[in-house]
A = this chain, B = another copy of it.
Amino acid sequence: MRSVRRRSTSLTTESPSTVIDLATRRRTTRIFAKTPVEYEDVLYCVKAAAQAPSGANRQPWRFVLVDDPAMKERVRAACEEQEKRHHASVEASLRRWFMSKNITWQKPFLTEAPMLLAVFSNQEMPYATESTWLAIGYIILALEERSLSTLTYTPSYPENMRSVFKAPEEYALEAILPIGYSADSKPKEPRRPFQASLYRNLWNMKA
């Protein structure tokens, strides 16, 4: 296991990273250290997210920070119950991908990460899902800036998760972000060269 990334104690004297540095450094983590997470660091990320643009500026997002161990257990149990059903039903190519990555119905990170951030969107607002995921983009870069790691975990049947959080009917659970210091030695999944995803003026025209 790789040594745990810890936040520098002299953060104020560090110079900030560029967006490309944060984006490049940032990788998905499924194994978290027991090191506690500063509450203030999670607030920082939510504060950044709250500045994101949204459809008609309706700010459709709501965040539930979970740090109560009993609540984390309830979230994990509800998610794993769904995952068992889901893993039995996914199409072949995704199942092969799950197997190749050792991803099973078990989601230990939901109790092992010191904190979870559940992200909801109000589906009565325009572009609620799109706006909320844009804000999640802000959050994961802000986490990286604080040397924290996460995973954009999406429960298989999010509509069944509303009752666990006592969320109102109009809110959809978009993701649960487990938050902590990484103890995951897995390297970042490779990315296609960005040029392969970029065209100029028309589809397939080289940029």
Q: Which residues of A contact B (CB under 8 A)?
A: 15-24, 26, 28, 43-44, 46-53, 55-57, 59, 61-68, 71, 94, 97, 126-127, 129-131, 133-138, 140-142, 145, 151-152, 154, 165-168, 174-175, 189, 191-194, 197-204, 207
Contacts and interface: CB of A to CB of B under 8 A. Distances in A.
B65 A189 contact: no
A110 to B, nearest CB: 14
Contact of A66 (B97, B141, B201): B201
Contacts of A26: 51, 53
A19 B191 contact: no
A93 to B, nearest CB: 9
A120 to B, nearest CB: 9
B127 A129 contact: no
A130 to B, nearest CB: 5
Given A46-B198, A56-B97, A59-B197, 7 more contacts: A18-B145, A20-B48, A26-B53, A51-B191, A65-B199, A94-B126, A165-B202
Given A64-B201, A134-B137, A189-B57, A194 B16 contact: no
A26 to B, nearest CB: 7
Nearest to A51: B23
A204 B166 contact: yes
Contact of A130 (B55, B129, B141): B129
Contacts of A142: 19-20, 23
B166 A202 contact: yes
Contacts of A55: 154
Contact of A46 (B56, B67, B194): B194
Interface centre among A131, A141, A154, A189, by most B CB within 10 Å? A141
Contacts of A201: 64-68, 71
Interface centre among A17, A20, A94, by most B CB within 10 Å? A20
A192 B130 contact: no
Nearest to A145: B19
